Amino acid sequence: MNTVDYLRISLIDRCNFQCQYCMPEGTELDYILRQELLSHEELITLLKEVFIPIGFRKFRLTGGEPLLRPGVVDLVREIASLPQTQDLAMTTNAFLLAGMAQALYDAGLRRINISLDSLEPETFGKITGNQGHWRWQKTWEGIQAAYRVGFNPLKLNVVVIPGINDHEVLDLAALSIERCWHIRFIEFMPIGNAQLFGELSWVPSEQLRQQIRERWGLTESTVRGNGPADVFQIPGAQGTLGFISQMSECFCDRCNRMRLSADGWLRPCLLNETGQIDLKTALRNGVDTTDLREQVSQLLMIKSEINFKQRDSGTEGIYTRTMSQIGG
């Protein structure tokens, strides 16, 4: 099992998009009240006194949409300034990024992942919830701003949904040829979208790779990231193509991360709540951070037994929470 040193931190469960794979149409969400979110002070305390002392060095800020979190630039600055922070990244839909990219970069953020599931405004609107052209344009402006500011690597995340955007795989892959952009194709997952998933299923990564091989060729890349992506490259391209294959190629044995939800629940797995710890309540009840550190250390010891897929039984769980509620 990999060393677990990477914490995904959800800053907020709200989002200004309503993507099919994250918050399907008709989903009724009970948003976390602001006072129930981990405060900036509480989050920094957990990092300094619980996570960093047991070896966490890499942090990713997620949501919902993290740029909706008040004071996010100040929080980035605080985390980036911690001497033990080796890597700080963010995942965003980029809708608000054009006006914030420079401030985030100046605060110490250097890596950014942006969700871009389509290059077609109409399809983009279908995936993200209407107002396609306007939303697509704002997202594209955010991507361009991040590129100009100097975020490197700049990664674009694509959830491939059969019958909706799978026809764009080659166009999206081509974005990696002339720019140092890293495109990540993600298999569609059953997270809070059981009905939609049942209707559409998913496209295996190997099928996508074969399409790209037939068009340009494809070689394994020497570039590796912090995550589970298998990384390839179109010959001569400046960027790379990653494939996150959680449905067809289980990577639990390579997982190096834990997830902290916006309301302070620490979970060892994206889709398995076994062993989760309510750190926020414990902190507010005065539990000593030494005790919290011990609890997290114990959870780390059993993480290898907690899997996305129940591989021994050959079954998968049924999940009612949406991706925005989990923290991505």
Mean pLDDT over the full length of the chain = 87
The predicted pLDDT at position 70 comes to: 96
Query: What mean pLDDT comes out for the span 124-149?
Result: 90
Looking up residue 128, the CATH number of its domain turns out to be 3.20.20.70
The predicted pLDDT at position 317 comes to: 46
Is the model more confident about 273 or about 258? 258
Residue 132 lies in a domain: yes
Q: List pLDDT tens digits, range 314-328.
A: 444 444 555 555 555
* Sheet containing strand 277-278, strands side by side: 219-220, 230-233, 241-244, 181-187, 154-160, 111-115, 87-92, 58-62, 6-10, 257-260, 265-267, 277-278
Q: List pLDDT tens digits, range 283-322.
A: 999 999 999 999 999 999 888 676 544 444 444 444 455 5
Q: How many domains does the chain have?
A: 1
pTM: 0.89
Q: Cα separation of 244 and 116, whole Å?
A: 15
The predicted pLDDT at position 310 comes to: 45
Residue 179 lies in a domain: yes
Q: Indicate the SS3 state at residue 220.
A: strand
Whether the Cβ atoms of residue 170 and residue 215 lie closer than 8 Å to each other: yes
Q: List pLDDT tens digits, range 16-53.
A: 988 877 776 666 667 788 889 999 999 999 999 999 99
What is the residue range of 264's domain?
Answer: 6-326
Residue 65 lies in a domain: yes
Name the residue with tokens 């507010």. Answer: 284
Q: Which residues in 296-325 are b (16+ Cβ under 10 Å) and which e?
A: beebbeebeebbbbeeeeeeeeebeebbbb
Residue 110 lies in a domain: yes
The predicted pLDDT at position 255 comes to: 80
Binned at pLDDT 50, 70 and 90, residue 200 comes out as: low
Residue 1 lies in a domain: no
**Closest by CA position to 4, among listed 310, 225, 277, 226:** 226
